Structure 1
Amino acid sequence: MFAEIVAIGDELTSGQRLDTNSQWLSQQLEALGIEVRFHSTVGDDLASNIQVFRIALSRAALVIATGGLGPTDDDLTRQALAEATGTELELHGESLEHIERRFSMRGRQMPPKNQIQAMFPQGSRVISNPNGTAPGIDLDCKIDGNASRFIALPGVPAEMKEMWQATVVPSLGGQGTIKKIIRHHVVKCFGVGESHMEALLPDLIKRGREPRVGITVHQATISLRITATGTSAEQCNAAIDDTVRQIHDAVGELVFGEGEQELQDVVVYLLQQKGKTLSTVESSTSGMLAFWLGSVDEKRTSLVAGSILPLSELATKQQVEQAAASAREGNQTDFALALGTFCDPESADEYAIALAGPDGVESLTSGLAGHPEIWAPRMAKQGLDLLRKKLISE
């Protein structure tokens, strides 16, 4: 069984508001063992809604829609669903009474316009909304020979989530739709590009493999996303553990963490575990390195000092190396990291990273490639990774 999620509203298609409902529903469905294959977003247009609903109902066993259940002219979900399924709208008396009570509790009379919220496609089951005037719709459908179920919920996140937990989830379980377990796990890597990482894992990333392994990149960090499907959590976890082991075997020290871990989390942990201290010197990264480390090491047990210097003071590889050595000596720390950019007359703009430690100063240089927005994060992460490897080797 797989599902499709439809988000409705001009505010979503115009980019004025981010669709967080679909993200949340995808997570909820996968926790129930229901795979989500499609996300659709449609504006407040009747013909477009009808078309999107028919497409979704023709290819998914379960369709979850959010939005379009209000009383105004641009709330079109119930009308579009009736048109898409060839049914008529009918008044549901209990829902109308509920809406009237909601207005009465506020000392107001229900406007005639709100009666539309008590109209449902024939054959619908009503999903009560204890905190709003928009009840949900639960309708069994058949489009182009495909039997499916359409559930419409309000777009207001708080109302949608409560109705989902109180009514929808129990109904899904009761119908025996929970037939499999889906579990996710992330392995974090740093040090190579996406295509290089793919070349290191040819068998693991093949389509059709179980568990699936996908590759995503954000600010030079590679995330290997493992998705396991099974009949029990134990089966999924065993498959994930085996895949994680294979990843470690294939890429070695490129792996720095798992789950939500970032490089700064790992570096601070290693510093604290080994009782070591660190100071930093930066120019073109605007203190990003110290900020990341300080966000993890809030009590400053490992990060002793962080300073920002003008670009001109870290304008050569030698100056960066000297800055690292001076920071280590001046702050009396076990290690010091220095980051700087400079222009090499014989090549393009470059950056240098220097790590000063008990064994002296080691450094590396690299070209400033890619979009400028990635330069500072890549430099900071490369410095952290250099220190991580040093701490592991001690």
Structure 2
Amino acid sequence: MQAEIIAIGTELTSGEKLDTNSQWLSLQLADLGIPVLFHTTVADSMAANLQALQLAVERTDVVLITGGLGPTLDDLTRDVLAQLAGVDLELDAASLSQLEDFFRGRGRTMPERNRIQAMFPQGSLPLLNPIGTAPGVWMELPRAGRNPCLIAAMPGVPSEMYRMFFEQVRPRLPGGQRIIRRARINCFGIGESQTEELLGELTARGRDPEVGITAHEATITLRIVANGATEEECQQKIAAVSREARERLGDNVYGVEDEKLEDVVLKLL
């Protein structure tokens, strides 16, 4: 089972805002043992959204969407999901009541435009949003000769998305058969190509754990990703590769995880 995460919003594709939701969701799916193959960012365009979703459903088994669930004309996720499934939108009375209660609790009358947020593709399941006005959408889209594609659309507001994922989406996702764990080793005084030469077969494609190399300014980071049936299995794999990498890189290794070079130097003074 593999996943794709789609972040919707012209404010993201224009560079006005940074998409942090996709990074966070990737880490959550890793805890469930579901690898993420694609991150897609799409502007507020019906045609572009539909194309992105059609491709995602074809190439992955889990699609998580953030954004596009507000009440304005450029919030298209509901309509795109309905078009994808070949169904109409229908009003969910319970969701409408929750929206009205949300505004009433703040001493306001719900604007008529917010009624659209209680509309869902036929056959889908509304996902409660207790801290905002945008309910999410859960769909299991049939595919010929394959298991259904699991689709969850969540708000783009991070605090609302976090809670909806933990309470409404995560319990519906399969997981537990495999887990994914990560580790980082930080290096200095060595280039990217030389690092790869010293590590040799440790960076070969298809290995488990997978070892990737990332250069940032004057430092190099090794990204170790292990797959396993248990936490212990993953940690054993990471420990073995970490020992071997340290032996090959020697004094060029200065720290792990979030340790910064300047902090390590200060400790040595």
TM-score, with length taken from structure 1: 0.66
Could you tell me how far apart the structure 2 residues matched to 1:77 and 1:60 are? 19
1:15-26 alignment, distance < 5 Å? 15-26=15-26
Spell out, residue by residue over 1:347-385, the C-alpha distance to the aligned partner (whole angstroms, 9 max, x if none). Answer: xxxxxxxxxxxxxxxxxxxxxxxxxxxxxxxxxxxxxxx
Give the aligned partner of residue 74 of structure 2.
Answer: 74
Could you tell me how far apart the structure 2 residues matched to 1:266 and 1:132 are? 43
Could you tell me how far apart the structure 1 residues matched to 2:187 and 2:224 are? 13
DSSP 3-state at the match of 1:114: helix
CA apart distance, 1:63: 0.4
CA apart distance, 1:143: 4.4
Give the aligned partner of residue 108 of structure 1.
Answer: 108
DSSP 3-state at the match of 1:187: strand
Give the aligned partner of residue 55 of structure 1.
Answer: 55
Greater relative CO (CA pairs within 8 A, separation 6+) = 2
- 1:139 is aligned to 2:113: no
DSSP 3-state at the match of 1:44: coil
Spell out, residue by residue over 1:190-241, the C-alpha distance to the aligned partner (whole angstroms, 9 max, x if none). Answer: 1121111111112100001110000001112111110000011100000011
DSSP 3-state at the match of 1:38: strand
Could you tell me how far apart the structure 1 residues matched to 2:108 and 2:262 are? 55
Give the aligned partner of residue 270 of structure 1.
Answer: 268
DSSP 3-state at the match of 2:243: helix
DSSP 3-state at the match of 1:73: coil
- Aligned pair count? 268
Give the aligned partner of residue 118 of structure 2.
Answer: 118
Give the aligned partner of residue 42 of structure 2.
Answer: 42
Could you tell me how far apart the structure 1 residues matched to 2:158 and 2:239 are? 35
- Write the letter of the residue equivalent to 1:168: V
Which of these residues, 207, 210, 213, is aligned with residue 208 of structure 2? 210
CA apart distance, 1:267: 2.7
Give the aligned partner of residue 281 of structure 1.
Answer: none
Give the aligned partner of residue 292 of structure 1.
Answer: none
1:3-22 alignment, distance < 5 Å? 3-22=3-22
- 1:31 is aligned to 2:19: no
5+ long unaligned stretches in structure 1: 272-394
Could you tell me how far apart the structure 2 residues matched to 1:144 and 1:260 are? 45
Q: 1:90·1:121 contact (CA, 8 Å) conserved in 2?
A: yes
- 1:168 is aligned to 2:169: yes
Q: 1:69·1:117 contact (CA, 8 Å) conserved in 2?
A: yes
DSSP 3-state at the match of 1:203: helix
- Write the letter of the residue equivalent to 2:216: H
- 1:243 is aligned to 2:244: no
Could you tell me how far apart the structure 2 residues matched to 1:136 and 1:106 are? 21
- 1:254 is aligned to 2:252: yes
Could you tell me how far apart the structure 2 residues matched to 1:8 and 1:178 are? 29
CA apart distance, 1:28: 1.2
Could you tell me how far apart the structure 1 residues matched to 2:22 and 2:253 are? 31
CA radius of gyration, larger in:
1
Give the aligned partner of residue 149 of structure 2.
Answer: 148
DSSP 3-state at the match of 1:41: strand
5+ long unaligned stretches in structure 2: none
Spell out, residue by residue over 1:234-289, the C-alpha distance to the aligned partner (whole angstroms, 9 max, x if none). Answer: 00000011001111221211112111112233233334xxxxxxxxxxxxxxxxxx
Could you tell me how far apart the structure 1 residues matched to 2:157 and 2:43 are? 16
Could you tell me how far apart the structure 1 residues matched to 2:252 and 2:134 are? 51
CA apart distance, 1:4: 0.5
Between 1:151-160 and 1:244-253, the stretch displaced more is 244-253
Could you tell me how far apart the structure 1 residues matched to 2:145 and 2:11 are? 33
Spell out, residue by residue over 1:39-78, the C-alpha distance to the aligned partner (whole angstroms, 9 max, x if none). Answer: 0011111111111111111111110000111111100000
CA apart distance, 1:141: 0.4
Could you tell me how far apart the structure 1 residues matched to 2:143 and 2:10 are? 26
- Write the letter of the residue equivalent to 1:28: Q
